[in-house]
Amino acid sequence: MSKTMKNTEGSHCARSRLGPEKSTYVTASVRAFVSARSGARAAACAIVYGRARVAAGFAVVALMIVSATLVMAGDDHADESIDAIVLSETSVRNLGLELAEAVEVDFEEVVFAIGRIDHIPSKHAVVSSRIAGRAIDVNVIPGDRVKRGQVLVRVESRLPGNPPPVIALEAPISGTVIQRHVRQGEPVEPANELLDITDLSEVWAVAKVPEQEAGRVRVGSKARIRVAALPDELFEGELIRFGTEADAATGTLEAIFRLSNPELHLRPGMRAEFSIITSFRPNVMAVPRDAVQGDPTNRVVYVEHFELPNAFLKSPVQTGARNDRYIEIRNGLFPADRVVTKGAYFLGSAGAGDMSLKEALDLAHGHEHNEDGSEMTPEQQAAREAESQAASGRGRKRQGPLALFFGVTTVLFGALLLLSGMKHVRDGRLISELSDLRSERRRGDGEDA
């Protein structure tokens, strides 16, 4: 068999052994390596060199991961830098800040309504005279409290006599004089009302409930009632009845609550706001209404910093239902988080406060931080010390875009090392296979000879 035929068979053998996907490469490489006397050594060198590159690539990527982890671990306060507000003790007192815990409550579903305070008809009475005459004595004015049987007016009769007969008009009930319709010396007729007296120890609170909400309200429902004239007082009442007809003009139905009024602070005609309780939901995370700030699309609360004194974090929250006392928090808070209630609105306009987050953290931890509040790395500390020695007085700030650029380029470099190393390993293995093929061909040539 000629050498040409043997070479052709060897090339066919190489294609069959290495597979069709490598046959083209092997055919081109045969000319480069089959005749080389150091094929095995070249293969070993390529494999070693490739594995070294792979190891270097892994090392670079691992170094970047470790560095990123350390930066994140040391950046405990970085996320807080933007929305943290740090105040002095004086500012806290000036703002009058008050705090409350986020708690799970039995959340009350309510219907809101407005209305008025009214007297109870059965506790209202008038004073009048049974005879015609002249009022010679009027002993009370509106607002006076009277007792049943107390003499209020004396009327001199028109009947003849010397002196004419005088009758005393007594209070028919105990209560408060609401109106006086007679003056001393004024003529009196039996048809005239002289005085109006009302017992205000109990009153009605009449709510105008929207018709579409009236079906949720039942007799016996409780309500918390606030009166504009008494902003610091909260009253509780029970629904005793509904009005006899709806008001077509306003689309409301009157709901009447009975209120106890032992201090007589409530007076007929006062404007009232009602929160009528219709149902309960247990274990609902909620905060006081004053704690939630912002517009309807961006609700926030100010959470007391768990570590820094007089520091507050602006925390976005997702809200749910609300009543007159609480707002449901569906997301954004944990139980026992302390949030600002009174003064939360003014806290939002306090800006960055009296001291920076860096200054507050330096004071609290006893060591220096970056301007954004993150922990300083050893390199940053060394640079800061060098700058201090040079009396530059300028703090080194983190260069976010530059650090990102170097991070990305380093990762790309590591990836290129990995790919290059893997290629060299692959080339080395191909060279080794070609070297083995060369040895087999030599042995075949020797046997033919």
- For residues 156 and 221, state if they share a domain: no
Domain CATH for 132: 2.40.50.100
d(C-alpha 414, C-alpha 48), whole Å: 18
pLDDT at 69: 59
Can you tell me whether residue 344 is helix, strand or coil? helix
**How much is the pLDDT for 392?**
45
Question: Which pair of tokens denotes residue 144?
Answer: 């006076």
**pLDDT at position 13 over 50:** no
Say if residue 207 is in the same domain as residue 190.
no
User: Could you give the percent of the chain with pLDDT greater than 90?
Assistant: 50
Same domain, 193 and 235: no
- Residue 169 one-letter amino acid: L
Query: Quick check: 192 and 182 in contact, CB under 8 A?
Result: yes
For range 335-341, the mean pLDDT: 93
Q: Considering the domain boundaries, does residue 77 fall inside one?
A: no
Is residue 375 included in any domain, yes or no? no
Look at residues 35, 99, 84, 66 and name the one whose alpha carbon lies nearest to residue 352: 84
Q: DSSP letter string over 96-110?
A: T--EEE-EEEEEEEE
Residue 248's CATH number: 2.40.30.170
Helices (H) and strands (E) in the chain, counts: 9, 21
Report the alpha-carbon distance of residue 416 to residue 410 in Å, rounded.
10
What are the structure tokens assigned to 86, written together? 């740090």
Domain membership of residue 49 as a residue range: 3-64+413-448
Residue 214 predicted with pLDDT over 90: yes
Closest residue by Cα to residue 171 from 149, 154, 199, 190: 149
**Same domain (yes/no): 329, 341:** yes
Residues 126, 192 share a domain: yes
- Tens digit of each residue's pLDDT (9 = 90 or more) over 245-259: 999 999 999 999 999
Looking at the chain, the whole-number percentage of residues with pLDDT higher than 70 is 66
pLDDT, average across residues 364-370:
69
pLDDT above 80 for 116: yes
The predicted pLDDT at position 291 comes to: 94
Going by pLDDT thresholds of 50, 70 and 90, the confidence category of residue 122 is very high
Cα 57 from Cα 406, distance rounded (Å): 16
In a domain, 364, yes or no: no
- Residues 239 and 273 grouped into a single domain: yes
Residue 418 in domain: yes
What pLDDT was estimated at residue 89?
85
Judgement on whether residues 444 and 429 belong to the same structural domain of the protein: yes
Question: How many Å apart are CA 68 and CA 377, to the nearest integer?
Answer: 12
Q: Are residues 251 and 276 in the same domain?
A: yes
pLDDT digits (tens, 9 = 90+) for 78-96: 444 446 788 888 888 888 8
137, 154 Cβ separation under 8 angstroms? yes
pLDDT digits (tens, 9 = 90+) for 278-317: 999 999 999 999 999 988 889 999 999 988 888 999 999 9
pLDDT band at residue 37 using 50, 70 and 90 as cut-offs: very low
- The count of domains in the chain is 4
Whether 266 and 317 share a structural domain: no
Cβ–Cβ under 8 Å, residues 148 and 154: no
Whether residue 398 lies inside any domain: the answer is no
Q: Is 207 helix (H, G, I), strand (E, B) or coil?
A: strand
Which position has the higher pLDDT, 424 or 219? 219
**Of the residues 226, 250, 281, the one at which a domain ends:** 281
Q: pLDDT tens across 384-437, in order?
A: 777 777 654 444 444 456 666 666 677 676 676 666 667 666 766 776 776 677
For 444, other C-beta atoms within 10 Å of its C-beta total 15
Assess if residue 242 is contained within a domain: yes
Q: Are residues 422 and 435 in the same domain?
A: yes
Q: What are phi and psi of 95, to 5 degrees?
A: -75, -15
pLDDT digits (tens, 9 = 90+) for 189-205: 999 999 999 999 999 99
HSE of 145, CA atoms in CB hemisphere, 13 A: 5
Question: How many CB atoms lie under 10 A from the CB of residue 381?
Answer: 14
DSSP labels for 114-179?
EEEEE--GGGEEEE--SS-EEEEEE---TT-EE-TT-EEEEEEESS--SSPPEEEEEPSSSEEEEE
Residues 125 and 186 in one domain: yes
In a domain, 374, yes or no: no
Assess if residue 387 is contained within a domain: no
Q: What pLDDT digit, counting tens, does each position of 387-398 carry? A: 777 654 444 444
pLDDT number for residue 9 = 41
Say if CB 113 and CB 209 are below 8 A apart: yes
Q: What's the pLDDT band for 357 if we cut at 50, 70, 90? A: low
Mean pLDDT score of the chain: 79
Q: Is residue 15 over pLDDT 90? A: no
User: Residue 377's pLDDT is what?
Assistant: 83
Q: What pLDDT sits at residue 117?
A: 97
What confidence score (pLDDT) does residue 42 get?
58
* pLDDT average, residue stretch 208-213: 95
The residue from 243, 258, 281 where one domain ends is 281
Residues 265 and 295 both lie in one domain: no
CATH of the domain at 94: 2.40.420.20
Looking at 169, 198, 227, the residue that finishes a domain is 198
